[in-house]
Amino acid sequence: MSDFRKPEVWKKAHALAIDASRIAQGIRGAHYSSLRSQIIRAALSIPANIVEGREQQSERDFARFLRYSIGSASELESHLLVGRDMVVISEPNFASLNQLQKVRKMLHGLLASLVPKPEKRIGLPANDLER
């Protein structure tokens, strides 16, 4: 059993989840309860999927969970932008979540290390071969 707390990407995703959740809890008003909930759920999903993916039996399955984490990071960014633009998340609080970009970049890097790149074809494109 591996220690899921060791990878740097998990540490940063965990810190992001804590920060985003704290900011979401500061959003006041019953009509913003859905936004609060969505921010917290998306934020918590990022490190949770990293952990779940690490426990899978294959790199292919791990890659699938990393894609879920990347999707959740994008979802979180969208919710935060909405909150900022609706002026329920202050600009300083929004800016404090700049680690979101770094986490997403780290996730993409880890995913790229797991997924083999398709081989490039050498020679003429398929259309040219038919002539």
Question: Got the DSSP string for the chain?
Answer: ---TT-SHHHHHHHHHHHHHHHHHHT--SGGGHHHHHHHHHHHHHHHHHHHHHHTSSSHHHHHHHHHHHHHHHHHHHHHHHHHHHTTSS-HHHHHTTTHHHHHHHHHHHHHHHHSPPPPPPPSS-HHHHT-
Return the pLDDT at 129: 47
pTM comes to 0.85
Return the pLDDT at 127: 55
- Distance, CA of 57 to CA of 59 (rounded, Å): 7
Largest Cα span, the chain: 67
Return the pLDDT at 131: 44
Angle between helix 59-85 and helix 33-54 axes, rounded to 10 deg: 160
Mean pLDDT of the chain: 90
Low-confidence ranges of the chain (pLDDT < 50): 129-131
Return the pLDDT at 116: 74
Return the pLDDT at 4: 78
Domains of the chain and any CATH numbers: 8-115 (1.20.1440.60)
Return the pLDDT at 53: 95
